[in-house]
Each structure stands twice: as structure tokens, then as C-alpha cells.
Amino acid sequence: MEARLKRGTETRDEDRMTIEAKGETAEETIAEFYELLEEYEQEIGGRLRDIQPEEDDEEADE
């Protein structure tokens, strides 16, 4: 099972994530998928959003 997620709309405010889950049965696959999704929501997504360019970096790009 695979899902591709995209958060944000601006180039500097986008996160892309692919979550893949495998299991012996559909039930196991779905359970693993939900575990990975929860981990992304609670840990990874927040960490990615915390990585923001510094104001000096943005001005240098202009």
C-alpha cells in the first residue's frame, strides 16, 4: 500500500512524503500504514515544518 502526501502550496512551504506499508494480509498492511501515518503526523511532519529558511537566506535568493 502506498500513499503520497503533499503539504503546502508555495515552493518554500512544501513537504512531500511517500508512505509505503507491506504486510502478509490486507489487515496487517493497513495497520502498518496507520502506524506510519501517525508517526509522520506526530514526529516527522512537525520536524519538517520547523526547518524554515532564515530571513537572510530568503533575501539572498531575491
**pLDDT value for 31:** 95
Chain centroid to CA 31 = 18
Give me the residue spans of the domains in the chain: 2-61
Is the pLDDT reported for residue 54 higher than 70? no
CA distances from 31 to 3, 21, 36, 40, 41 (A): 14, 9, 9, 14, 15
Is the pLDDT reported for residue 62 higher than 80? no
Instruction: Name the one residue in this structure whose C-alpha cell is 539572498.
Output: 60
pLDDT tens-digit series, residues 18-45: 899 999 999 999 999 999 988 888 887 7
